[in-house]
Amino acid sequence: MFDGISFIVPHKDDPLIDRLLGFLDGQTFKDFEVIIVDASDTDAISQVVSKWSRSLKIRVVRAKGGRGTARNVGAKIARAEVLVFADADVVLPHVFAGDLMRLFNADPGLVAVGFPIYPTKLNKISYMVYRTLRFLDGFSYLYGKPRIPTTCAAYRRSIFEFRSFTDLIGEDVLFSADIMKYGRAVFAKHIKVYEEPRRWEQNTRILDSLGHYFPSYVINFLVILGLHNRLLPKQESRLPKKR
């Protein structure tokens, strides 16, 4: 294990993985590895990895299943102290890794960090959707039950020795609610993350996209009421609870 970052990227046939690796290559903080958990139907990822393997420490592991399974697989083999889960279509500022490590190093009780997510390009719909989501995400920290979307999210590695994601829609909401008894979470407003707004670019996909988010917010409502544990499988928990 090393005192850096493991970037874990669930991937399936996404051409934007090349762009993400380019942004990782441009990080000012260099003590990190990249783990791509690949569920693609082709071997195209090997060409992308070959392009960046001279400047980045990259590992590719094959795994079938949902995104929750992919994150669990990546967490199991990660070697760093801090794990960052990032979708293939995100854009990270060049100071992302350094600013994140400063947060974790300054607070031993910090177990999770969420980020404000912005669209890489704006239209009326994406502006409204992302602004609303940022407000709801930031507000969730105020009542102690943060909603941390795994579009881009960071956690201490120790959490994954005893907890894991599920493949349910809204698994990120369930996971963040489940681990708050072990430490603190912060909403890093100063670290902006950008995402390709593909769900909100075509009118034909908007209703499908709203349907995608609906279960997540039902789960968030259950979290607020304290009823979410009924959706979680029994998991061993030997971590000391926070005082």
Whole-model pTM? 0.86
Residue 160 CA, chain-centre distance (Å), reads: 14
CATH class in words for 2-231: alpha beta
What are the φ/ψ torsions at residue 94 (nearest 5 degrees)? -65, -15
pLDDT in tens, the chain (243 residues): 778 999 999 999 999 999 999 999 999 999 999 999 999 888 889 999 999 999 999 999 998 888 889 999 999 999 999 999 999 999 999 999 999 999 999 999 999 999 999 999 888 878 888 898 898 888 888 877 888 989 999 999 999 888 888 877 777 877 887 788 889 999 999 999 999 987 666 554 555 555 556 566 665 666 666 655 555 555 554 445 554
**Half-sphere CA count of 91, side-chain side, radius 13 A:** 9
Contact 95, 25 (CB under 8 A): no
CA distances from 124 to 128, 193, 201 (A): 6, 19, 10
